[in-house]
Amino acid sequence: MKRAVLLLCLPIAYAQSEGDLGTGKKLFQAHCAPCHGIDGAGGRGANLTLPKLKRAATDQAFFDIAKNGIEGTIMDGAWQLSDGELWKVVAYTRSLGQTARVPIPGDPSLGKVLYGTLGCAGCHIVAGQGRSFGPELTAIGARRSAAYLKEAIVDPGATVPEEFAMVRAKRADGQDVRGMRVNEDSFTIQIRDPSNRIQSLRKAELASLEHESGKSAMPEFRTKLAPGELDDIVSYLAGLRGEP
């Protein structure tokens, strides 16, 4: 008799927690994703999918930050959300960090070979090897989900981290400088051009300055990879979890 009751209860409890994750996801996307990214992997805000967060090591610490914010940063407390809603956001965000442990298709050793033949090391560093034009990939598997990695390769413009955003500046003498915005303040902007040289420009001396959102300095590999090869390279990257 007891066993029958248990069996009846389990699916209900399960369904409820799934629903909570769904609500948590909606709330996260509305209130947190603008800074933390749609997959929580970071943007203007921190990456929240890491197995261990710097300031939010426990669920309670995570909750406190979400509620009260972090003083001196753009991270404000989510005063619009009730405590109950916030706990659902905590549960959902915690689940993101575990997605990486789900087995993914592809052969990492084939992916490693492709990484070499496609010239990825011409722009990326893995464990000290390569060139630092794009982001370091030594621990990319711990920082980004497989879905994100796939997108970063076939459609780089969709996943540009803030510090690699593209800009086009026109100098008063008519010369165009296009590249990644390394740094910017009210008066100057520093742009890394395709030859990996950083140019510092005074804004007052520019004829125009255009932020090219959705553009990336990384070439698209969509047409250069067979579908199976894309899985291979993603599985290789997902396995890179070393210290950067």
Beta carbon of residue 89, minimum distance to ligand HEC (angstroms, whole number) = 5
- Examine residue 216 and tell whether it contacts ligand HEC (CB under 6 A): yes
Judged by CB, which is closer to ligand HEC: 25, or 189? 25
CA-CA distances (angstroms) from residue 44 to 36, 41, 146, 161, 189?
Answer: 6, 10, 20, 8, 18
Contact of 148 with 43, CB cutoff 8 Å: no
In the list 134, 141, 179, 239, the residue contacting ligand HEC (rule: CB under 6 A) is 134
In the list 32, 142, 167, 230, the residue contacting ligand HEC (rule: CB under 6 A) is 32
Distance CA 109, CA 115 (A): 10
Judged by CB, which is closer to ligand HEC: 35, or 110? 35
- Examine residue 238 and tell whether it contacts ligand HEC (CB under 6 A): no
Q: Which residues share a beta bridge with 189?
A: 184, 201
- Examine residue 46 and tell whether it contacts ligand HEC (CB under 6 A): yes
> Which stretch, 16-24, 53-61, 101-109, 204-212, contacts ligand HEC (CB under 6 A)?
53-61
Distance CA 68, CA 18 (A): 27
- Examine residue 96 and tell whether it contacts ligand HEC (CB under 6 A): no
In the list 39, 65, 100, 108, the residue contacting ligand HEC (rule: CB under 6 A) is 65
In the list 44, 202, 203, 241, the residue contacting ligand HEC (rule: CB under 6 A) is 44
Q: What spatial distance separates the first Cα and last Cα of the chain, rounded to whole Å?
A: 56
Site string for ligand HEC, 184-213 (x = CB under 6 A): ------------------------------
CA-CA distances (angstroms) from residue 110 to 15, 83, 114?
Answer: 39, 47, 6
